[in-house]
Every structure is written in C-alpha cells, then in structure tokens.
Amino acid sequence: FILIQELLRVMRTIDDRIVHELNTTIPTASFVGKIDAGQTCKELYQSLMDAHTSRERIIKNCIAQTSSVVKTLREEREKAQDDIALLKQLRKEQTKV
C-alpha cells in the first residue's frame, strides 16, 4: 500500500507542477516565432491525460485487490467471530478501500 502511495505521489508531479509546466510551455513574446505553442500545448495536454489514465488504472486496480482481500476476510470472519486479530485486519483493509 505504501508503494502505491509513493507511485501515485510521483505520478501526480505533473499536476502539482502545472503552473511551471504552463509557464515553460507557452512561449514568451521573444520565442513566439520559434515554438509552435499549439503543438506544445497539445503535447502537455496529452501528457496530462496519459498521467491521469495511468493513475486511474492503478487506483482502480488497488481498489479491486483490496476489495478482494476484504471479501475473503469477511468470509473468514463469519467462520471465526471471536478472532479479534482477524477483525482488526478486516477493519484495516476496509479503511484502505
């Protein structure tokens, strides 16, 4: 779970630096003729969309895996209602979801 959090933090970098990205993407008056602003903006947009798609895929995968663990723990909990450790683990996994 910590690994996924770190991966998401790294993948969020482009969003966190959007002002910087825009400032470096849109040319100043002295560079207007040297840089195709439209193409550069399209590339930035595509980069953002790729990052969002990738991040969404990872989040959904994490939810699916954790939900599967929760389902298994619930089934085990029904069989062993007195198991406090199992209950704590179930609650921990539910919190992740």
Q: What is the pLDDT of residues 9-43, one digit of tens each?
A: 887 887 778 877 777 777 666 665 666 777 878 88
Q: At a CB cut-off of 8 Å and minimum separation 6, what does 7 contact?
A: 58
Structure tokens at 10: 């790294």
Cα 18 to Cα 12: distance, rounded to the nearest angstrom: 10
Q: Over the chain, what is the mean pLDDT?
A: 84
Q: What is the pTM of this model?
A: 0.64
